[in-house]
Structure 1
């Protein structure tokens, strides 16, 4: 006898919809819906963060072994964090730009120009607020010029920011007349003293931490962050999805300029002065820190946490070398080797399914 069909086979009221089978490729395997790709990317990023933490831990051990009394001293650790703060803020902005597929070679010159402009005598007459606002406005102004030329002028970011680097550095030299401009605003100078530390943490480190946290939230929890990744990963697909790529790039260069303005103010607090040589090689250090942290130069991938760890690694290396009286050229060679190693790791991870 023929067995009666089940309720599902008969299409009765209890029969649920049959899920459509996933399409298969010529090899007979089911197509990936994108979930495994995302999980694979997340795992690679997690492994990179753990690796960076491991490298930082190794450097701390090396510093503790070579100069235990000096390196592990609380004042020296505070110095490492303070020195990381200025370039760290710049790196946060540079990370966003690089993730979008752009580049900003002018960050160091913008920091110099903002610090010089903000420490002019006329600006200091307005006190703390005058110096801070001037630093931020100069940074935003330079970022606006970069963004307009790149986004709406359709110029190559490398050329635009290279021109800005030369122009901003030259303008800073002209304004300062090659001299160091001393800050005489008490409210600014007091922030660099130990009495202003909060629970042993310098105010500059707190600002750096706040910028990093805000940058992480913007990148990972907002539409702006998703548009940045999309613009760098596949600009044409992002455009077809309704994202205004030109406006997004303008905003990103404005963000980079803002970070440079904040960094210039922190540098004024740290040094108590403004000079045209400020921010020297910041463009290279910020790009290198972002690359070490996992940001692809081609765009579309990166993390704020990784960039922050990259900054801490570079600053720790510099501190260890200085404590051991090693020459600057040796430091640069070590940094170069680390950058090459990071790029090789990126290429390997990019080709790994």
Structure 2
């Protein structure tokens, strides 16, 4: 047991990623081609962006189950308003206002009403999906208007690499700088490590919690825009898909402890690389989606067990009930 506790999950994940990449390159036809490698990076870009928001929440001892609903429904509303003839500025402002409102409500309920984050964000996810789908849009998929900047964004390349890869890199750098070098970013770690001590020392723990959920909602909207740009539409059924579990999988398997106060952007990058390679390899092998989901579920369960061993929950974590 002492040997297990001394293991570094980040190093283990990196080693597994390198081995898996090498084996796939040698054994799977077409895996190491330039087009496939670009496809792998592109496929994990949106997942990685969402995982950045989730990581920020989990480091501060929370969880956000509303990210996928915010991502899909906010962009669907935005595109619906554009398709109905509303101006670009008005549609974007209204969509962003809705995103900020949901993030603010999530944060206030968790921080000031002391409702466990898992229940708050699960309820807001169901509400956002149900309200938008029943009251504001009447189709599952909402197309991007022809010639719109979102459509143009999806076709942009730099050195044959899709633009969303660079946006993922930029957001990863911004998140790293925020968490490591800003005062409020350090508050996230302090509050995640020991929320009572952080509060007693005078840190604005509750406003910081609200800020994290607002940032998470904004990141979800950006991920939704990139999804719509690559597919030229947004499908609201994605809310009922396994995307949320993939986000949590990347975050946890990368080494961000559910007990809070540990991890960073590097863990998200390693987790995204591992999951991207694994999913691509399973697709080439032609493993049915049902079994792919079963494999991912098993890996997520294993990652949670390992996290419980490496990052044991303390009494404050259990009392707070955020996870």
Which category describes the TM-score, using the shorter chain as reference length? 0.7 to 0.9
- Say whether residues 1:198 and 2:158 are aligned partners: yes
TM-score where L is the length of structure 2: 0.87
Counterpart among 188, 194, 206 of residue 246 in structure 1? 206
Q: Which moved more, 1:142-151 or 1:334-343?
A: 334-343
Which one has more relative contact order, counting CA pairs under 8 Å at least 6 apart? 2
- Is this contact kept in 1: 2:61–2:192, CA < 8 A? yes
* 1:106 match: 66
Identify the residue that residue 6 of structure 1 maps to in structure 2. none
**What is the distance in 1 between the residues matched to 2:267 and 2:33?**
26
Report the 3-state secondary structure (helix = DSSP H, G, I; strand = E; otherwise coil) of the residue aligned with 2:158: coil
Q: Tell me whether 1:286 sits opposite 2:247 in the alignment.
A: yes
CA contact (8 A) 1:87 1:286 kept: yes
Query: Partner of 1:319 in structure 2?
Result: 280
CA distance in 2, matches of 1:172, 1:98: 27
Q: Which structure would you say has the larger Rg?
A: 1
Structure 2, unaligned stretches of length 5 or more?
Answer: 313-323
Aligned-partner Cα distance in 1 for 2:66–2:18: 32
Contact 2:83–2:145, Cα closer than 8 Å, also in 1:
no
Supply the RMSD in Å over aligned alpha carbons: 2.3
What CA distance in whole angstroms lies between the structure 2 residues aligned with 1:124 and 1:94? 33
Counterpart among 21, 36, 48 of residue 60 in structure 1: 21
1:120 maps to 80
- Give the one of 80, 91, 99 matched to 1:139: 99
Distance 1:251 1:268, change over 3 A: same
**Normalised by the size of structure 1, how large is the TM-score?**
0.80
CA-CA distance at 1:322 after TM superposition: 1.1
Query: Deviation of residue 128 (structure 1)?
Result: 6.7
Q: Which residue of 2 aligns with 1:183?
A: 144
**Partner residue in 1 for 2:319:** none
Question: How many Å separate the matches in 2 of 1:135 and 1:78?
Answer: 31
Residues 120-129 or 316-325, more deviating: 120-129
CA distance in 1, matches of 2:69, 2:166: 24
The question of whether the paired residues in 1 share the 8 Å contact of 2:81 and 2:91 is answered with: no
The alpha-carbon distance between structure 1 residues 172 and 64, as it changes in their structure 2 partners (threshold 3 A), is farther
CA, structure 1 residues 177+297, in 2 after alignment: closer, same or farther (shift >3 Å)? same
1:208 to 168, 179, 188: 168
CA shift in 2, pair 1:137/1:252, >3 Å: same
Alignment correspondent of 1:272: 232
CA distance in 2, matches of 1:332, 1:312: 18
Aligned residues: 305
User: Is the partner of 2:168 in helix, strand or coil?
Assistant: helix
